Structure 1
């Protein structure tokens, strides 16, 4: 059911059709035209209806949700894709990789790399009504993260409904060494330097994630709570890019160095 003032969610058969199209694009690594080309009214509500069905299809294949990612939390990322609000999607176990992982470019369709602060929860958070203070208290570990965002939509021609339906453009994540959370650490001030092949190409700090990465955790808990979903202890929360995403190129190495967290690296094979 849509909220007052929202466009109606796509009819059940349309959501199914869109989810299957994205599922096949993900499986075959062949992009499809924007869903909003044929359904211009597909908004956030409709996008999440498609996302839920796509998630069900992937879980039926054996996938397991190990957390959630927030996307489009920084001004550069919102500007890059012409949207003005964050989105979110599930993180699947098969997409989480250790520091130093080497990927083949062909594992993705149109990948880009971005650096972000990742939290692992020590306790559950059930919205709505979760505060930033409650979110801070629930964080057990902090992790330097690199996310590979990928779009099953041709040439990243996405509107908000497209990227939400497409699992918030989920591709893969590479995580560094977990560091225990500290009550006196202000994650808003955490600085990050992003390098490609050793050259500094972007920088950011915690405030670039919606003003406060812990606020992203509270936001996710509250948005998920509207659908009856709890952020569980042990789950990851990826809080969003601290800079504009960088295209992933064969042969390149990407490093993100964070205050207090150290450096996380991913590599791309030459072919």
Structure 2
């Protein structure tokens, strides 16, 4: 497939898991992909090497979100890797995962979650948007927890903020008049190799909760992102694609 030949893309949090699958898919479609990582350079280099081995183009760029100068560091590396070429696709995938309930949340935990999951993508968009090429794509990764109530309240709040941000930015003159779409993909549980998803009972229970009777795979999410990044999605903006496999839609009959 070659729907993104001549395009450039930045995927944050692309050293492993869903981000790695997104970077690989966009590269397979022909894009030059900047593989962002927070601290695990070795994993990002592995992602780049795998993309290159498959005939794609990619380079790694590091920035620790939630720290001073994070966006500046990312943009410096991005500019160097793109060599002056403009950006077409931004995928805000990097995020801290949830797991703490209301009773055990602390102010530091709250601030860190919002710094990485909300503040970083917001200001990355702010800095990149003026120089993004017309017809570009901004794709933010949210989560099914904005629809499905779980104890991970702070994490869910950050993802709710991301979805609100996407909808509002899609309706701004800064994007609309230039043909730049802004959309969100909301994954459900995805088997990224986490030990929890090596437990048969967890996998079976998760599969039963989905309409499609299986666990999600990173490639499932990458496919949704690739569609939104393509020209086929040119008339879609301000939307959230629920990529949970139909999790908890209702009773099964």
Task: Sort the TM-score into its range (normalised by shorter chain).
Answer: under 0.3
Q: Which has the higher helix share?
A: 2
Query: Taking structure 2 as the reference length, what is the TM-score of the superposition?
Result: 0.27
Q: Which has the higher strand share?
A: 1
Q: Which has the higher contact order (CA 8 A, sep 6+)?
A: 1
Query: Taking structure 1 as the reference length, what is the TM-score of the superposition?
Result: 0.26
